[in-house]
Amino acid sequence: MKAALFNPIRYGGPSPSGWPVAPSAYDLEIGQRSMLDALENLRLADQLGFDWVTVAEHHYAGFSLTPNPMVLAGALTQVVKRAKIALLGPIVPVLNPIRVAEEYAMLDNLTGGRVIAGLLRGTPNEYVTYNINPAESRDRFEEALALIRRAWSEPEPFGWQGRYYQYRSVAVWPRVVQAPHPALYMSGSSPESGAMAARNRLGLGLAFTTVPLASQAARFYREEAGKLGWQPDPDQVIYRMGFHVAETDEQAMADMVESGGDKPHVGLTMSNKAVLAGAMASGYFGKAAEEQRDRVAPRDAAERVEKGQILLGSPETVWRQICRVRDEVGAGILDLFPTVPIADRTRRSIEVFGTKLLPRLHEN
């Protein structure tokens, strides 16, 4: 197994609930410190032997200060010297796909071919950000994927007359370093996405879900791939979850309580009822609309551990929790994000994970 440290750059100060959050709530000093802390944590992860560091795209709230993950990844090329830099990722249907292809190509050159290219549909609120109809997200995604792949591999300038995208000439410089292109992943909790990932031979990312639901989604993805005559390797299934490791179980829980992270909280998808209603009406969640409610239901820390949404406890306890993810989901990559937003406690948790758990993880 491999481990990734995901750092969404959570805003370190108090941030009102809901979405979008008024920019007036942003404290400049706290925000800048949050960014520097994140860079330091990712540098530490690289030094400790984490296999990947990962970044993502979210807008208009303190949950994540990375509206453009490419910018953060650009900074990471100068900080992270060994680990792969995974973008999980740009929300492709709301972006210009040629720009996405170009930025990935830049990053692949800056890292000497250490970029992992996630292409995401994102959470439905992100469609409000750039005023894109979420009902068309899957079709946009699939066309953008084909276009990005073509832009990376076509040696001559070409035009594109798509359904959603239209270009008279495309010729991406710099070319990508990795051949034929960086490893591609998409998120795939719904059957539609799992089938799309299998159809396009992409890796599968399972995030903000539960172990039973992820297990079901990963099985479906493998079955679909099998029908098409291929089998994903273990590294092609990523399971993203929160983590906090301390010397003892009691200390880990005490840290959670101190940070307020032990209480149920409402995630981005549920933060704006009008947006959620609009997304449901658009069919955004596909056939997994019912499961979606289970995925994002607010839960306290104990329930999140039970559902496999976070790793929490001493190294021994957390190892047992990791084994469950390995055995039930079959994930080859654990993508871990800190759940205790207290700077020194987060740093300690990364250190403990890196020294006590990473070696065991790599042996499995």
Structure-token pair, residue 213:
């639901």
Using the structure block, give the residue that is written with the tokens 């959570």. Answer: 10
Structure-token pair, residue 249:
């179980």
**Could you give phi then psi for residue 126, rounded to 5 degrees?**
-65, -20
Minimum distance between the CB of residue 314 and another protein, rounded to whole angstroms? 44
**Residue 224: partners with Cβ closer than 8 Å, 6 or more residues away:** 194, 195, 197, 198, 199
Burial of 290 (C-beta count, 10 Å sphere; 0-12/13-18/19+): exposed
Tell which positions 123-142 bind another protein, by CB under 8 A. 124, 127-128, 131-136, 140
Question: By CB under 8 A, how many residues form the interface with another protein?
Answer: 26
Quick check: 99 binds another protein (CB under 8 A)?
A: no
Length of the chain: 364
Residue 207, strand partner residues: 240
Minimum distance between the CB of residue 137 and another protein, rounded to whole angstroms? 10
The Cα–Cα gap between 103 and 166 comes to 19
Tell which positions 278-307 bind another protein, by CB under 8 A. 278-279, 281-282
Q: Which is nearer to another protein, 124 or 261 (CB)?
A: 124
The distance in angstroms from the start CA to the end CA of the chain is 6
Minimum distance between the CB of residue 277 and another protein, rounded to whole angstroms? 6
- Choose among 311, 314, 312, 310: nearest CA to 247: 314
Minimum distance between the CB of residue 22 and another protein, rounded to whole angstroms? 8
| CA distances for 319 relative to 40, 58, 204, 358, angstroms | 25, 30, 23, 10
Q: Are 115 and 181 in contact (CB under 8 A)?
A: no
Q: Which is nearer to another protein, 130 or 230 (CB)?
A: 130
Quick check: 59 binds another protein (CB under 8 A)?
A: no
Minimum distance between the CB of residue 19 and another protein, rounded to whole angstroms? 10
Q: Are 154 and 170 in contact (CB under 8 A)?
A: yes
Minimum distance between the CB of residue 161 and another protein, rounded to whole angstroms? 7
Task: Annotate each residue in 156-175 with x if it binds another protein (CB under 8 A) or - if it does not, as one string.
Answer: -----xxxxxx---------
The Cα–Cα gap between 81 and 73 comes to 12
Tell which positions 217-256 bind another protein, by CB under 8 A. none
Q: Which is nearer to another protein, 94 or 333 (CB)?
A: 94
Minimum distance between the CB of residue 166 and another protein, rounded to whole angstroms? 5
The Cα–Cα gap between 337 and 310 comes to 9
Quick check: 22 binds another protein (CB under 8 A)?
A: yes
Q: Which is nearer to another protein, 123 or 215 (CB)?
A: 123
Tell which positions 262-281 bind another protein, by CB under 8 A. 272-275, 277-279, 281
Q: Which is nearer to another protein, 13 or 162 (CB)?
A: 162
Residue 240, strand partner residues: 207, 335
Q: Which is nearer to another protein, 23 or 155 (CB)?
A: 23
Minimum distance between the CB of residue 59 and another protein, rounded to whole angstroms? 13
Q: Are 236 and 332 in contact (CB under 8 A)?
A: yes
Q: Which is nearer to another protein, 283 or 315 (CB)?
A: 283
> Which residues contact another protein (rule: CB under 8 A)?
22, 124, 127-128, 131-136, 140, 161-166, 272-275, 277-279, 281-282
